[in-house]
C-alpha cells in the first residue's frame, strides 16, 4: 500500500488499517510505503520544520486518496500513528524512493487451562 496520498490522521487511514488488520491472519505482515526523509528536499520553511519535529505534513488540499494529495510522514509519525493495532517490525527510510514500513498483526494469546496440581490458570500460549 502506498500511503503518500492518505493522511495518518484521517478517517480514510482508519478504514484502510481496520480492513487490513481484519484481513491479516495473526502474525501476518503488511508493507506500507510513505513519503519520508527521501523527499525532505521538497519541503521548505515551516513545512520542513514541522516534518523534522515529527509532524505529518500535508502539502496539497486536494481530495484525500488522489495523486495530487501529498502527505509526508516522518519516522516518528509512522511509528506512533500510522497503524495502531499493528506492530512495526522494520523501517527502511528511502528504500524504494519512499520509506518502507513492515507491520505485523500480533499473534493471538489463549489460556490453556489449569496447571497440573490445580492453582490458577496456566500461562498463556501463542495460537497461530
What is the pLDDT, as a whole number, of residue 116? 58
Q: What is the pLDDT of residues 36-82, one digit of tens each?
A: 888 888 889 999 999 999 988 887 665 555 455 678 888 888 888 77
Lowest-pLDDT range of 33-37, 99-103, 118-122: 118-122
Cell of residue 43, nine digits: 519541503
What is the pLDDT, as a whole number, of residue 114? 59
Output the DSSP codes for 5-39. TS-SSSHHHHHHHHHHHHHSPTT-EEEEEEB-GGG
Query: With contact defined as beta carbons under 8 Å apart, do 105 and 86 qualify?
Result: yes
Lowest-pLDDT range of 19-28, 91-100, 112-121: 112-121
Query: With contact defined as beta carbons under 8 Å apart, do 88 and 72 qualify?
Result: no
Query: With contact defined as beta carbons under 8 Å apart, do 73 and 3 qualify?
Result: yes
Amino acid at each position: 500500500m502506498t500511503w503518500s496520498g492518505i493522511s495518518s490522521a484521517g478517517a480514510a487511514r482508519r478504514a484502510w488499517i481496520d480492513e487490513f488488520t481484519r484481513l491479516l491472519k495473526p502474525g501476518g505482515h503488511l508493507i506500507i510505503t510513505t513519503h519520508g526523509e527521501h523527499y525532505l528536499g521538497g519541503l521548505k520553511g515551516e513545512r520542513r520544520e514541522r516534518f523534522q519535529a515529527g509532524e505529518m505534513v500535508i502539502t496539497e488540499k486536494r481530495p484525500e486518496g488522489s495523486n495530487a494529495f501529498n502527505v509526508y510522514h516522518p519516522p516518528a509519525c509512522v511509528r506512533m500513528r500510522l497503524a495502531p493495532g499493528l506492530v512495526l517490525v522494520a523501517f527502511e527510510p528511502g528504500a524504494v524512493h519512499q520509506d518502507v514500513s513492515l507491520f505485523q498483526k500480533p499473534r493471538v494469546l489463549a489460556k490453556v487451562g489449569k496447571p497440573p496440581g490445580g492453582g490458577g490458570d496456566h500461562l498463556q500460549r501463542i495460537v497461530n
